Structure 1
Amino acid sequence: MGSGLALAGEQPLGESASATVARLRDRIHGMQDGVARLPIATHPALADLVQLRTGGCYQVDSASLALALLAGPSQSGAWAAVVGADDFGAEAAAEMGVDLARTVLVPDPGELWLEVTSALVDVVTLVVLRPPEVVSARSASRVAARLRKRSAALVSWGPWPGAEATLSLRGSSWTGADHGHGRLRSRRVLVDVRRGAAPPRHAELWLPGQGEPIVRAEETAPPVLGEALA
């Protein structure tokens, strides 16, 4: 009688070749340089799109997505840092579920942004960085090595060489204002997540949600996005 366990090179009965490749890729991502890459709390609305792991670098194209990735670790009690965002909105961050009491803010690190980021990696679980300049592959490699050593992760608000996953907004629509009157309450967005050459994954989110900081759109009554997400 078999043990029910599959060896690394085996394809479990009924599993497609593409599913096998994806499963093995996840195993490889779970180990790097012999150091286990542990999961970091990821907001439930994003967890099936991207799982934050220690040693990982993730790229986003907006403050909203940076805060969404920051919200999960923050809500779990982890310390985090935001570097280089001199227009950081504390109120918006709190609305997204970020614990400001556990967030270190360095709005303008100047030319020492790389040194500041590396130092913060030693003491926090997640660093959100808005690079002030084009990041070289060498600098990215140095940060990645430190992240693995210190069991932390980085979210780059801007291009980052070798990013494990790239999250981007394809469109958005606000609700709350009616014919120019009223208060904007929630924003519905379409998020793309790309990992290497794999097909992108998509999800519609409320940022912030209706009654919750972040929620999947399919879990709520759907106001129409119209052509913004076409």
Structure 2
Amino acid sequence: MNLSFFDQFTSPSLMGIPLTLLAITFPALLFPSPSNRWVTNRLSTLQLWLLTTITKQLMAPLSKKAHKWALILVSLMTMLLTINLLGLLPYTFTPTTQLSMNMALAFPLWLATLLTGLRNQPSISLGHLLPEGTPTPLIPILILIETSSLLIRPLALGVRLTANLTAGHLLIQLISTATLALLPTLPMISALTMLILLLLTILEIAVAMIQAYVFVLLLSLYLQENT
């Protein structure tokens, strides 16, 4: 069987049934469930502290009207964070390397922020399409440019997340393949590539966390413009 480097991004299936939904929902089962005790264990306390810190960080620049989005944004970041990190483990599938899934997350949430602004403050939301003090001859061109930049936002969100994770996984697979190929003939160079692979894995862990944060942070900035 001829395998390519892109086979790792193929959606898994069992007896013709796609397992993407299982890959999305499985990470949520790894979180500790809350208990009825007054004093919880260390893992639950750490989880609560992390969620509180993330919520404060995301909600700080937003107005009070946008705080109702806190549960959605924090839940989205937690899901993306766990999926991205667990996708770095061997023999796993990363659903966020699929552009279809990322667009399915980005487009409805971006549209919700846009419709929220058009419903609550239509004048201010439409005013973003035309900066103040624009010369009259440039008004039609600037409106077209701002409209295009507004409509391309969900595509940029989805492509950014997909491209960063896909590139990282491909680099890890390429370097690991080179390490195994050089091991019998050039063990010293193989050890050097192994060190590079270790450093790249650490970098990919950071990228997986940063990309989840950037995805939700950009959504919160879009929400800030419309509230």
Query: Which structure shows the higher helix fraction?
Result: 2
More strand by share: 1
Which is greater in Rg? 2
Tell me if both proteins adopt one fold, taking TM over 0.5 as the criterion. no
- Which one scores higher on RCO, CA 8 angstroms, separation ≥ 6? 2
Query: TM-score, with normalisation over the residues of structure 1?
Result: 0.25
TM-score by length of 2: 0.25
